[in-house]
Structure 1
Amino acid sequence: MKICSRRSALGRLVRWGVAGSAMSAGWAALAQAAYPRQPLKWIVPFPAGGGTDAVARLLGQAMSGALAQPLVVDNRPGAGTMIGGEAIARARPDGHTFGTVDVSTVALAPQLYARVPYRSESDFAFIGGTTRFPFVLVVKPDFPAKDLHGLIAMARGNPGALKYASPGAGGPNHLGMELLQRKLGVSMIHVPYRGDAPALQDLLGGQIDMYLVNTAASLPYLQSGKLRALGVAMKRRIQALPDVPTFAEAGVADFESYAWQGLAAPAGTPPEVIVRLNAELNKALASPEVTARLKDMGVEAMPTTPREFADLVASQAQLWGKVIREAGVKLES
């Protein structure tokens, strides 16, 4: 009797387990079919009015129609994008809150700061890449070196004499120049600023010699002739500056430096929601209106799958982590 009772109990548990699994699958399917059920929030870890904010609003407008829900941008600037990053990581993982993460948020900050309020490898569900900001090395029109070959010769002949700007220590611009110096075996002086605008003004005024800057910030100056481009830090020439050679064309092999951004949700967001958001994001990035606007901004679309974007985060963390350690760069949060 006891054996029979146990078998009966076991049978009931199995039946209940099967029924429970079916119910869970049914609820998951229902949730997916009903998604999204309310307005969506896109967290941006930068102030309103900047380039990242403009990209988020552009893509958000394109995605909201397909998702049939309003999409509100929530700006959370500060602490080197970590305030916004934490807001994304701590949001309810139901797919209704996601946001922009960039190279600093998920690849650099965890290696630059002693205390970071999230873990890049476990606190986010990566949705996909959004944009890439190619870097170009710019100088004044009357700078003695007329090309990268000339600049390299100047740097090697005058160790520690040339000065380069960055919009902040520990950012991708700064680390890109640290990597370049190691590849060339040269030494230059780093002058950090609080953003692109003051750095560009001092470059125009002659206080610094060069700036590895994103095309979105430098394009107006290059188009007006106020600045001159020596090289693009990408593997191929870019559409915005088709006449500017790459570093590889000047003999600097395997050097690539750019800023990038993507979309992430909090960990635990249902995989089917991530797939849906990735599909709508990539459709938006491929639309003619978005493509044209990004081109005007000097920004490149960077569509990926969720896995490809997660792999990019991991590979960039490895690349720049090595540069950070070798250069001894540490920041206080």
Structure 2
Amino acid sequence: MQRRHFLLAGAALAAAGAHAQSYPEQPIRWIVPYPAGGGTDVLARTVAEAMRPALGQQILVDNRPGASTNIGGELVARAKPDGYTVMSADNAILAYNEHLFGKLPFNPEKDFSYIGAMARFPLALVVNPNFPVKTLKEFIAYAKANPGKLNYASPGNGSPHHLAMELFKNRTGTYITHIPYRGAAPAVQDVMGGQVPCMFLDLAGGLAVMQAGKVRVLAIGSARRAPSLPNVPTLAEAGVSNAEVYAFQGLLGPAALPEAIVARLNSELNKALLSAPVQKRAADYGMELLPGTPAQFKAMARAEAMRWGPIIKAAGVKLD
């Protein structure tokens, strides 16, 4: 019986290895848990297109927004672990939601296979061009003089943009009311139109409107100034310390993906990140590309979860 058990186990491993060697044999579905047009969507489509030739299959981007990325996360967590369903994952699903929700339909540490990090891009505080401030100092003074009367937009509850402003409020002692939207595009439209005066906006999805002057950029949440916005100070330079804010992106699959498939996807992802089209997009949008191993990606995500837990608790943000 023991010998038969070993033979069956060996046969199963051999079959899994053969499957991984022939992978992929059909199109890959890439879940993006946000609407089309935002920074997550832009990066996913750029990287997927760069990976496609080497994989020899179409990569079909499927936008599944809602529930602060939990809809997309649950789809992937419950998907068959065969390498044909992957997902763009950001701060929300990997670092925030375990602190925002009393109960999640998945465990971010255990229910996914971490394939690799892709990039991170800073968030910038922007205002409508007609809003009566021109510097971060003036913005803080205006907010303090008008407590509760100032609103800010975000792509949704629990998004990096939402929590970036909550951290900013904590560091500056200001009271600004959150107006959540269903995605970055409608939020930006309303800031440009003056319906909402301000928001934190990621460079990947918002650099074009920043450079066109459709919003005024007051400060950027990175450790260093962005090459694409050299005249914009960092939050620290403008007087707000310990407030570095950025969105990070990585690639996930369901738990129990065969190691050979994870290795193949990680290898092709890292090659794509070093390709000319992705490098150009990164330069254009102020992204910091993050090629590396699955273990490095998971370690970064768990470190961010530890960092944001106390911040979310202090802000009193709950989504259920």
* C-alpha deviation, 1:117, in angstroms: 1.6
Q: What's 1:218 paired with?
A: 206
Q: Give yes or no for the alignment of 1:259 onto 2:247.
A: yes
Q: Give yes or no for the alignment of 1:122 onto 2:110.
A: yes
Match of 1:308 among 275, 288, 296: 296
Fraction of identical pairs, as percent: 47
Greater shift after overlay, 160-169 or 80-89? Answer: 160-169
Q: Structure 1's 25 and 240: CA in aligned 2 closer, same or farther, altered over 3 A?
A: same
Q: Structure 1's 96 and 194: CA in aligned 2 closer, same or farther, altered over 3 A?
A: closer
SS in structure 1 at match of 2:256: coil
SS in structure 2 at match of 1:249: coil
- C-alpha distance in 2 between matches for 1:48 and 1:151: 31
* C-alpha deviation, 1:283, in angstroms: 0.6
- C-alpha distance in 1 between matches for 2:187 and 2:32: 24
Q: TM-score, normalised by structure 2?
A: 0.86
Q: What's 2:218 paired with?
A: 230
* C-alpha deviation, 1:137, in angstroms: 0.8
- C-alpha distance in 1 between matches for 2:146 and 2:54: 57
Match of 2:310 among 322, 325, 328: 322
* C-alpha deviation, 1:275, in angstroms: 1.9
Amino acid at match of 1:319: R
Amino acid at match of 2:87: G
* C-alpha deviation, 1:156, in angstroms: 4.1
Match of 1:103 among 77, 80, 91: 91
Amino acid at match of 1:238: A
SS in structure 2 at match of 1:118: coil
Q: TM-score, normalised by structure 1?
A: 0.83
Q: Structure 1's 201 and 195: CA in aligned 2 closer, same or farther, altered over 3 A?
A: same
Q: How does 1:129-144 map to 2 (within 5 A)?
A: 129-144=117-132
Greater shift after overlay, 152-161 or 244-253? Answer: 152-161
Q: Structure 1's 112 and 288: CA in aligned 2 closer, same or farther, altered over 3 A?
A: same
* C-alpha deviation, 1:16, in angstroms: 6.6
Q: How does 1:103-252 map to 2 (within 5 A)?
A: 103-252=91-240
Q: How does 1:86-101 map to 2 (within 5 A)?
A: 86-101=74-89
- C-alpha distance in 2 between matches for 1:40 and 1:163: 40
- C-alpha distance in 1 between matches for 2:192 and 2:308: 29
Q: What's 1:56 paired with?
A: 44
Q: Structure 1's 90 and 205: CA in aligned 2 closer, same or farther, altered over 3 A?
A: closer
Instruction: Give 1 or 2 for the bigger CA radius of gyration.
Output: 1
Q: Is the 8 A contact 2:38 2:204 kept in 1?
A: no
- C-alpha distance in 2 between matches for 1:312 and 1:121: 12
SS in structure 1 at match of 2:86: strand
- C-alpha distance in 2 between matches for 1:201 and 1:42: 27
Cα deviation code 1:21-61 (max 9, x no counterpart): 76566555444433334433322223455543443233222
Q: What's 1:9 paired with?
A: none
SS in structure 1 at match of 2:237: helix
Q: Is the 8 A contact 2:38 2:184 kept in 1?
A: no
Q: Structure 1's 68 and 307: CA in aligned 2 closer, same or farther, altered over 3 A?
A: same
Q: What's 1:46 paired with?
A: 34
Q: Give yes or no for the alignment of 1:76 onto 2:64.
A: yes
Q: Structure 1's 299 and 32: CA in aligned 2 closer, same or farther, altered over 3 A?
A: same
Q: Structure 1's 172 and 193: CA in aligned 2 closer, same or farther, altered over 3 A?
A: same
Q: Give yes or no for the alignment of 1:285 onto 2:273.
A: yes
* C-alpha deviation, 1:66, in angstroms: 1.4
- C-alpha distance in 2 between matches for 1:174 and 1:54: 19
* C-alpha deviation, 1:185, in angstroms: 2.6
Amino acid at match of 1:109: N
Unaligned regions of 5+ residues in structure 1, if any?
A: 1-11
* C-alpha deviation, 1:304, in angstroms: 3.2
SS in structure 2 at match of 1:199: helix
- C-alpha distance in 2 between matches for 1:49 and 1:137: 19
Greater shift after overlay, 251-260 or 201-210? Answer: 201-210
Cα deviation code 1:74-115 (max 9, x no counterpart): 333333322221121111112232222222223223332344
* C-alpha deviation, 1:190, in angstroms: 2.7
How many aligned positions are there?
A: 320
SS in structure 2 at match of 1:125: strand
Amino acid at match of 1:190: H
* C-alpha deviation, 1:233, in angstroms: 0.5
SS in structure 2 at match of 1:315: helix
- C-alpha distance in 2 between matches for 1:53 and 1:224: 21
- C-alpha distance in 2 between matches for 1:166 and 1:266: 28
* C-alpha deviation, 1:297, in angstroms: 4.9
- C-alpha distance in 1 between matches for 2:272 and 2:306: 30
Greater shift after overlay, 102-111 or 258-267? Answer: 102-111
Q: What's 1:35 paired with?
A: 23
